Amino acid sequence: MKLTLRVWRQKNANARGRFVTYEAKNITPDMSFLEMLDVVNEELIGRGEEPIAFEHDCREGICGSCGFMIDGVAHGPKRASTVCQLHMRSFRDGDSLTIEPWRAKAFPVIKDLIVDRSAFDRIIQAGGFISVPTGSAPDANAILVPKENAELAFDAAACIGCGACVAACPNASAMLFTAAKVSHLHLLPQGQPERYDRARNIVATMDKEEFGGCTNIGECEAVCPKEIRLHFIALMNRDLIRASVRDWKVGRRAAGM
């Protein structure tokens, strides 16, 4: 196979970027998309040109490192897949593809297709956990979790933090990522004590990180490699509303009303 790639090149965060066109030759359908880029990079290095920088690690779709836009779709045309799991058999010989980094204020470009997603870590720091210091846990089977809840919690917990949801959202919102973590913990009995504080803190941090607002469009769900569902956002919203009602009540009680 032979393809034409239009790739975003940007030397560093402050430099101006531009598209550069490359030919990808000697590509086979069994290659993954990243292996195709490896081939292009080997050739670039051979010519003394800088290889295309892209983030990747496990190459089996679980670490969440990789991801960029292929022809305007986060992680490319295959549903429920990261770019490392996208194989060239999804393309045709002679295709011309545009490759762009995730674009969001909260994800500044570091180089070429690499963006800084540390905002996600800060969201988790704000409440994406259950406060359980090492050594303080009761026996594992002392906590009963209905199978159904465990399964649903797992569906939400499957998030790999790749950032495709933000990239695909017309508002550059991080609601699906945030809601996945909140829902994972809220669906389990262990997550109950901190439930409302968590929802409030985590969403406040998301806003502070300058992600956009959610308008329930659903493009996030469409590109999520782990098929995390939009209804988790509703689940988080429910807790947010309850959190404000609770705050109001607590405030009234504190004011002696």
Partner 1 sequence: MGATDMDVETRVSGTVVDPVHGRLDARIPPGPIDKKWERHRFDMKLVSPANRRNCTILVVGSGLAGSAAAASLGELGYNVKCFSYHDSPRRAHSIAAQGGINAAKNYRNDGDSVFRLFYDTVKGGDFRAREANVYRLAELSVNIIDQCVAQGVPFAREYGGLLDNRSFGGAQVSRTFYARGQTGQQLLLGAYQALERQVGLGTVTMQTRMEMLDLVVVEGRARGIVTRDLVTGAIESHVGDAVVLATGGYVNVFYLSTNAKASNATAIWRAHKRGAFFGNPCFTQIHPTCIPVSGDHQSKLTLMSESLRNDGRVWVPKKAGDTRAPDQIPPNERDYYLERKYPTYGNLAPRDIASRAAKEVCDDNRGVGPGGRGVYLDFTDAIKRFGESAIRERYGNLFDMYERISGENAYRVPMRMYPAAHYVMGGLWVDYNLMSTIPGLFVGGEANFSDHGANRLGASALMQGLADGYFILPYTIADYIGRTRPDKVDEGHPAFRAVEEEVLGRITRLLDVKGKRTVDSFHRELGRIMWDDCGMARDDAGLRRALEKIPELRAEFWKSVRVLEGSEEVNQSLEKAGRVADFLELGELICIDALHRTESCGGHFRKESQTPDGEALRDDEHFAYVAAWEYTGTLARPNLHKELLHFEYVHLTQRSYK
Partner 2 sequence: MAVTGFILVGFVIVHMLGNLKVYQGEEKFNAYAVGLREIGSPAVGHEQFLWLMRLVLLTATGLHIVAAVQLTQMSHAARPVSYVQKKVIQATYASRTMRWGGVIITLFVVYHILHLTFGAVGFPPGQYRHLSVYRNVVTGFSLWYVSAFYIAAMVALGLHMYHGVWSMFQTLGLSDENTGRLYRSLAIVSSFVVVVGNISVPAGVLVGLVK
Q: Does 240 bind partner 1 (CB under 8 A)?
A: no
Write the binding mask 62 to 101 for partner 1: x where contact by CB under 8 A, - elsewhere: xxxx------------x-xx---x-x-x------------
CB-based contact 203:122 (threshold 8 Å): no
- Cβ distance to partner 1 smaller for residue 117 or 212: 117
| Six token digits for residue 235 | 């689940």
Question: What ranges make up the beta strands (E) of 37-83?
Answer: 69-70, 73-74
Interacting positions 126-155 with partner 1 (CB under 8 A): 126, 128-141, 143-147, 150-151, 153-154
- Cβ distance to partner 1 smaller for residue 122 or 217: 122
Sheet containing 3-9: which strands, arranged edge to edge?
A: 18-24, 3-9, 96-100, 69-70, 73-74
Handedness of CA 206, 209, 215, 217 (dihedral sign): negative
Alpha helices in the chain (DSSP H): 33-46, 118-125, 147-157, 164-168, 175-186, 195-208, 219-223, 231-254
The least distance separating partner 2 from the CB of residue 214, rounded to whole angstroms, comes to: 8
CB-based contact 59:33 (threshold 8 Å): no
| Six token digits for residue 192 | 């109950």
- Cβ distance to partner 1 smaller for residue 81 or 173: 81
Using the rule CB under 8 A, give the single segment among 46-54, 96-104, 208-216, 244-252 that binds partner 1: 46-54
- Cβ distance to partner 2 smaller for residue 42 or 227: 227
Q: Using CA atoms, how far apart are residues 186 and 138, in angstroms rounded to an integer?
A: 19
Q: Which does 233 bind (CB under 5 to 8 A by kind): partner 1, partner 2, none?
A: partner 2
Q: Using CA atoms, how far apart are residues 140 and 215, in angstroms rounded to an integer?
A: 40
Q: Which does 216 bind (CB under 5 to 8 A by kind): partner 2, partner 1, none?
A: partner 2
Using the rule CB under 8 A, give the single segment among 1-9, 94-102, 110-118, 245-253 that binds partner 1: 110-118
Query: Which residues contact partner 2 (rule: CB under 8 A)?
Result: 19, 69, 71-73, 98, 100, 103-106, 152, 168, 170-173, 210-219, 221-223, 229-231, 233-241
Interacting positions 155-194 with partner 1 (CB under 8 A): 157-158, 160-161, 184-185, 188, 190-191
